[in-house]
Structure 1
Amino acid sequence: MSGHSKWATIKHKKASLDAKRGKTFTRLIKEIVIAARSGGDPDSNARLRTAITAAKAVSMPAENIKRAVMRGTGELEGGQIDEIMFEGYGPGGAAIMVSTATDNRNRTVSEMRHMFSKQGGNMGEVGSVAWMFDRKSQILIEKEKATEDQLMEFALDAGADDVRDEGENWEILSAPESHHTVLEALSKAGIPTVEAEIAMIPKNLVEVDAKHANAMMKIMDLLEEHDDVQNVYTNADFGDEEAED
């Protein structure tokens, strides 16, 4: 089972820094607020259930989760957040998708456009690169926590599509509707997850040569660090050497 882009691994290495500055909590709270607009009961709202599961995984206090749900359902003020997906190309021609959640649409559009152009990328129209990705459940497992055979047994039996080698982690890919079934199977097997989300997975990879690798990494870093950005996806293949830098 071959891996794809190393960005999932690179992104995870930066996660501890995000947690220190509170970005992880902020991102998850926004996702809960948005998800709760479709209903505050996680049993009947799959997106909300996924968001709450992710929040609990990083030890978000129950009161924070409750307030975020109430903001989304309108029981508390502060639920006016727009979702905007930006699409474009980075240095070297690899595709980038940027999921944002903002309370100021005009500001975010302007800043995203500026970041793409300043770093040698090009922001495209809606749909310009989305066709290069599939919406999938993505679950990362540390290799020391489980073997590939164990994951094949528990995850694939629970409905997962594939198990891939992602460097330091195993990556389990499933259809979005199988996300919770696979997570429950892993939990029952005592296998902890590094990250679990509904993500945009590239269908094919675009190799980024050494000339453009650093610039591509830089634009990805800057996008990840922006306050309005929820997730960044790419079909860039940096290779082992660039991933370790």
Structure 2
Amino acid sequence: MSGHSKFANIKHKKEKNDAAKGKIFTILGREIAVAVKEGGPDPANNFKLSQVIAKAKANNMPNDTIERGIKKAAGDVGNVNYEYVTYEGYGPNGIAIIVDALTDNKNRTAANVRSAFTKGNGSIGTPGCVSFMFDKRGQIIIDKEECEMEADDLMMMALDAGAEDFGEEEDSFEILTAPDDLEAVQKALEEAGIVLASAEVTMIPQNYVELTDETALKNLQRTLDLLDDDDDVQAVYHNWDE
């Protein structure tokens, strides 16, 4: 879901087909369950849950589906046995790839992720083998169509709230924070009436790698497609310069 571009592609997010929505809803349902288990069912007192709810709404998950997920998780806390696991490895030409998964069967997930790398002519590495090439940052994306504030004013508001960096692309603004400062910046923007397309802790590549070889491009895309199709995979980060 994340890391497939330097900035979020807003239009792409809005135009996801039904199959992609089903996959996203499955992922979000698991995230809701884990968030409720860890911090309770009240988003006002559970920032992680409030983040998942915001992400769910950004992906057009119906409110009643979100509420049902929270209620189900709250009544089933003892049976929520998903756990987070991260895999690191290399795609073609040494492209660095990090895979975050949320699973109730680590053996199944590990086999599927390894297969995705292998089929794309890549390989799984040891923990830490590529994560040093990324910076863990809070990332907020704002759709320009949803924002009436001038870029300079938005930048100053974000920086005053504790943001570290501000970027602009054709259809969106990107605000970067330290992971621990994401909540404060997010709340400041929301209290000012700014609509956020997404707000999450992500992995930002320190450098991007270009691929020009057609075979390498096809192999990398195959790996990314297989990972995207896996319901256990929550997010994929890479340093390919698309």
Task: Indicate conservation of the 8 Å contact 2:4/2:236, yes or no.
Answer: no
Question: TM (normalized to structure 1)?
Answer: 0.81
Q: CA distance change for structure 1 residues 25 and 67 in 2, over 3 Å: closer, same or farther? A: same
1:235 matches 2:234: no
Moved more, 221-230 or 91-100: 221-230
In structure 1, the partner of 2:39 is 39
Within a 5 Å distance, the mapping from 1:135-174 to structure 2 comes to 135-144=136-145, 145=147, 146-174=149-177
Moved more, 99-108 or 9-18: 9-18
Task: Indicate conservation of the 8 Å contact 1:9/1:167, yes or no.
Answer: no
Give the SS at the match of 1:231: strand
How far residue 14 of structure 1 moved from its aligned partner, in angstroms, is 5.6
Within a 5 Å distance, the mapping from 1:1-245 to structure 2 comes to 6=5, 8-9=7-8, 13=12, 16-17=15-16, 20=19, 21-40=21-40, 41-70=42-71, 72=73, 75=76, 78-144=79-145, 145=147, 146-211=149-214, 212-238=216-242
How far residue 129 of structure 1 moved from its aligned partner, in angstroms, is 1.2
Q: CA distance change for structure 1 residues 65 and 33 in 2, over 3 Å: closer, same or farther? A: same
Q: Give me the whole-angstrom Cα distance separating, in 2, the residues matched to 1:34 and 1:98.
A: 18
Task: Indicate conservation of the 8 Å contact 2:209/2:239, yes or no.
Answer: yes
Q: Give me the whole-angstrom Cα distance separating, in 2, the residues matched to 1:220 and 1:18.
A: 18
Q: Counterpart of 1:28 in structure 2: which amino acid?
A: L
How far residue 117 of structure 1 moved from its aligned partner, in angstroms, is 0.6
How far residue 91 of structure 1 moved from its aligned partner, in angstroms, is 1.3
Q: Deviations over 1:18-53 (max 9, x none)?
A: 555412221111112122222204344332232223
Q: CA distance change for structure 1 residues 60 and 217 in 2, over 3 Å: closer, same or farther? A: same
Q: Counterpart of 1:178 in structure 2: which amino acid?
A: D
In structure 2, the partner of 1:243 is none
Percent of residue pairs bearing the same amino acid type: 40
Q: CA distance change for structure 1 residues 221 and 170 in 2, over 3 Å: closer, same or farther? A: farther
Q: CA distance change for structure 1 residues 14 and 141 in 2, over 3 Å: closer, same or farther? A: closer
Give the SS at the match of 1:51: helix
Q: CA distance change for structure 1 residues 96 and 57 in 2, over 3 Å: closer, same or farther? A: same
Task: Indicate conservation of the 8 Å contact 1:87/1:98, yes or no.
Answer: yes
Q: CA distance change for structure 1 residues 22 and 105 in 2, over 3 Å: closer, same or farther? A: same
Task: Indicate conservation of the 8 Å contact 1:70/1:76, yes or no.
Answer: no
Q: Give me the whole-angstrom Cα distance separating, in 2, the residues matched to 1:7 and 1:69.
A: 32
How far residue 85 of structure 1 moved from its aligned partner, in angstroms, is 0.9
Q: Give me the whole-angstrom Cα distance separating, in 1, the residues matched to 2:75 and 2:89.
A: 34
Q: Give me the whole-angstrom Cα distance separating, in 2, the residues matched to 1:140 and 1:8.
A: 8
Let me know the Cα RMSD of the aligned residues.
2.8
Q: Give me the whole-angstrom Cα distance separating, in 2, the residues matched to 1:27 and 1:61.
A: 15
Q: CA distance change for structure 1 residues 11 and 236 in 2, over 3 Å: closer, same or farther? A: farther
In structure 1, the gaps of 5 or more residues are 239-245
Q: Give me the whole-angstrom Cα distance separating, in 1, the residues matched to 2:46 and 2:101.
A: 21
Q: Counterpart of 1:160 in structure 2: which amino acid?
A: A
Give the SS at the match of 1:236: coil
